[in-house]
Chain A
Amino acid sequence: MSTTPLARRPLSCLKASLRQARQHKLLTRPMATEATQRTTTPPPPPRRPLEHNFFPLTDRKTKALRSAFAVYPSTTVAGKQALRPPPANVLQSLHEAQMKRMDPTGARTALFAKTREAAKVGDVLLVTHRRGGEPFAGVCLSIRRRGVDTAVLLRNHLARVGVEMWFKVYNKNVAGIEIVKRRAKRARRARLTYMRQPKHDMGSVADLVFAWKRSRKVFSTGKPAAAAKAAKGAKGAKAAAGAKKK
């Protein structure tokens, strides 16, 4: 049983020929793919026609149509009609949200609202600060209304020196604001800067505060709850801001 080497290994010649064809190796299509049937990819689902308008460009003189471009609606976003402009009055809604958070009862908002009962420039106010120290009283020179950043400027004399302080109405450090004395007549200016002049300066408001405290003691029966009740019944606006303090 002696067979020729070629008959024993009939494919041995392939090696030499394929070596010649090395460059073609990658380009030739293998038999396996030729035999298999091509799998047909499922056709893409029919697209909805794009929604757009045309914007015509016309000749200036003859008004004839020169060209036109497709202009998509301003709501178009990635195949959907879901693009909406954001709300315009963002700052206002931000302010309202914060004011609600910082002043849940609405007392501070009411105290500096533009109403008859609210505090006005020219009134003498007493601010109690949470960070300790004496409560600061003074005549209100101006009210800066900026939503949650609303502030009041108070002027007083301490040791015969004029002192002015700004207080942020909605700040947590401001424990309470009370009206000590209302101005007899409505001020005809929004900012009473003229009260810094010696001619118009009110001087110290210590005596006014002292009188106010004494009157409160007269009204009250000595118990804090009754005092609060009495104050509320007598002067609503006065109690509004002070209620939290008591």
Chain B
Amino acid sequence: MAPRLPARCWRQLALRPSSTATPTTLPRASLLPTTTTTTTSSSPAHHPLLPYTQSRTVKSGWSTLPSRAKPHRFNQVTSGLPAPTAGPAAALKRKERSTPVRAGVLAVKKGMTVFMGRTGARIPCTVLQLDRVQTVLNKTRSKHGYWAVQVGMGERQAGNVTAPLLGYYEAKGIAPKEALAEFRVRDERGLLPVGVQLLPDWFHIGQRVDVRSNSRGMGFAGGMKRHGFAGQEASHGNSKNHRTIGSAGPSQGSGSRVLPGKKMPGRMGNQRVTIQNLPVLMVDNELGIVVVKGCVAGHKGAVVKIQDACKKDPPPDEFIEKTRKLIEERFPEAEAHLQAARERHLELKEARREKRIAELMAQGMKPTEEQADAIEQIIAASAREDTAERAPAEF
């Protein structure tokens, strides 16, 4: 309940005829709407400074509990104990230094070539091409438990995309992508606007990157090829056991079992391989390529992830700032587009639920009457404002 002035105050003020005419109170009363002034004059229990509505709720901080029962830093069971070394927060803290500051990009391995130097140097290198790389989602600590940027690459036909993903892309306002991947970043400073394109100048020449991709699949391979076993001899009484792995372990006394993790024949390759600290030799926006020194796992056409090397220092702050500014300059409407796409998604979602989607499809892309009216109103309002602005200028 709103606190009131004690009766002794206003009673005395009311008794003194000069106090009502003081210049401090008058203008205040005149500023208020007429209804309020009448009530103040008739019932002096409502003071104009104080609100009329009662607003003491649990949300306003009001509680009937004794003050000691409020959860506080000092009355917790964990108070005074060191911070836990396990758990999500501790894990994030532990991995902070080895998590890159910036997000990475997806690329396609185009093949290998060489860089011929002027002095006869010859550097083998891999050409990675960025095909319409766009940011798709920001993952946050509060919502997802960690900081990351989801990035998409290429183009996929809508017919080859599942319905849930179609809805996902619809809400993002971007076309379905060939590949999606997530890049962990250190904190919220690594997040990016959604829907913007990342070009090769996201990296600079000379910086080190980690390149991740799946290696070529070798199929089912024997122990010699898969694990480098020595095999067995060709002769000296050997019979039909030239490339076999030999014994799988000791016998009775050692448990007569095969120990877990025993290297055996099996599927080889097609595993995630990370090549660390590859220097960037060339960056070209026109060709859309990033050229890195050395080789990268996978076949030609393989999808690779490129990110700042986690075992090296991040790129200089000036460069990071520059890349961010470039994105802002190139795509100033990213946020507005995302918002519009979200609204459209909600509208379509409602229509799907109510089985009205056929009507909307028949309408095509024309704005609905409500939208058209709203747009017209806005235009009219802006026109009126323009005239209103001009009018005093003429006087």
Interface of A with B (CB < 8 Å)?
4, 6-7, 10, 13-14, 16-18, 20-21, 23-24, 27-29, 31, 34-35, 42-47, 49-52, 54-57, 65, 67-80, 82-87, 90-91, 93-95, 98, 101-102, 130-131, 146-149, 168, 170-173
Q: Is B381 an interface residue (CB 8 A)?
A: yes
A114 to B367, CA, bound (A): 61
Shortest beta-carbon contacts, A-B, top 5: A86-B288, A79-B337, A79-B333, A173-B120, A78-B331
- B331:A171 contact, CB within 8 angstroms: no
Within the complex, the shortest CB–CB distance from B219 to chain A, in Å, comes to 27
Identify which of residues 334-376 in chain B touch chain A, using a CB-to-CB cut-off of 8 Å: 334, 336-338, 340-341, 344-345, 348, 352, 357-358, 360-361, 365-367, 371, 374-375
Within the complex, the shortest CB–CB distance from A210 to chain B, in Å, comes to 29
Within the complex, the shortest CB–CB distance from B264 to chain A, in Å, comes to 38
A selection of 30 A-B contacts at a CB cut-off of 8 Å is A6-B9, A10-B9, A10-B12, A21-B2, A24-B3, A24-B50, A24-B51, A27-B51, A42-B382, A43-B382, A46-B378, A49-B367, A50-B341, A50-B365, A54-B361, A55-B166, A56-B361, A65-B361, A74-B132, A77-B195, A78-B333, A83-B134, A86-B130, A87-B286, A91-B127, A98-B113, A131-B120, A148-B116, A149-B114, A173-B120
- B28:A31 contact, CB within 8 angstroms: yes
Q: Is B62 an interface residue (CB 8 A)?
A: yes
Q: Is B104 an interface residue (CB 8 A)?
A: no
Partner of B158, one of A18, A55, A102, A168: A55
Q: Which residue of B lies closest to A18 (CB)?
A: B3
Which residues of A have CB within 8 Å of B333?
Answer: 78-80
Contact string, B96-130, partner A, CB cutoff 8 A, digits 1/0?
Answer: 00000000000000110111111110100001011
- B110:A90 contact, CB within 8 angstroms: yes
Partner of A149, one of B12, B113, B117: B113
A79 to B379, CA, bound (A): 21
A47-B340, A69-B170, A79-B334 are contacts. A90–B50 as well, Cβ < 8 Å? no
- A86:B289 contact, CB within 8 angstroms: yes
Q: Is B16 an interface residue (CB 8 A)?
A: yes
Q: Which residue of A lies closest to B134 (CB)?
A: A77
- A148:B193 contact, CB within 8 angstroms: no
Q: Which residue of B lies closest to A86 (CB)?
A: B288
- A24:B32 contact, CB within 8 angstroms: no
Task: Please choose the segment from B66-74, B77-85, B171-179, B227-235 that sits at the chain A interface, where 4 or more of its residues have CB less than 8 A away.
Answer: B171-179
Identify which of residues 132-148 in chain B touch chain A, using a CB-to-CB cut-off of 8 Å: 132, 134
Which residues of A have CB within 8 Å of B6?
Answer: 13, 16-17
A94 to B125, CA, bound (A): 12
Q: Which residue of A lies closest to B358 (CB)?
A: A65
Within the complex, the shortest CB–CB distance from B378 to chain A, in Å, comes to 5
- A17:B175 contact, CB within 8 angstroms: no
A29 to B48, CA, bound (A): 11
A86-B130, A98-B115 are contacts. A46–B375 as well, Cβ < 8 Å? yes
Total of A-B residue pairs, C-beta within 8 Å: 214
- B163:A57 contact, CB within 8 angstroms: yes
- B117:A172 contact, CB within 8 angstroms: yes
A10 to B357, CA, bound (A): 69
The count of residues in chain B whose C-beta lies closer than 8 Å to any C-beta of chain A is 88
Which residues of B have CB within 8 Å of A148?
Answer: 113-114, 116
Of A42, A70, A74, A75, most buried by chain B (CB within 10 Å of CB) is A70
A29 to B50, CA, bound (A): 8
Identify which of residues 239-258 in chain B touch chain A, using a CB-to-CB cut-off of 8 Å: none
Task: Please choose the segment from B53-61, B207-215, B302-310 that sits at the chain A interface, where 4 or more of its residues have CB less than 8 A away.
Answer: B53-61
- B51:A29 contact, CB within 8 angstroms: yes
A72-B175, A86-B288 are contacts. A94–B113 as well, Cβ < 8 Å? yes
Which residues of A have CB within 8 Å of B131?
Answer: 85-86
Q: Is B26 an interface residue (CB 8 A)?
A: no
Which residues of B have CB within 8 Å of A173?
Answer: 120
Which residues of B have CB within 8 Å of A91?
Answer: 110-111, 113, 127
Which residues of A have CB within 8 Å of B50?
Answer: 21, 24, 28
A85 to B286, CA, bound (A): 11
Q: Is B49 an interface residue (CB 8 A)?
A: yes
A159 to B28, CA, bound (A): 114
Q: Is B13 an interface residue (CB 8 A)?
A: yes
A174 to B240, CA, bound (A): 51
Partner of B287, one of A27, A28, A87: A87
Partner of B174, one of A7, A14, A76, A98: A76
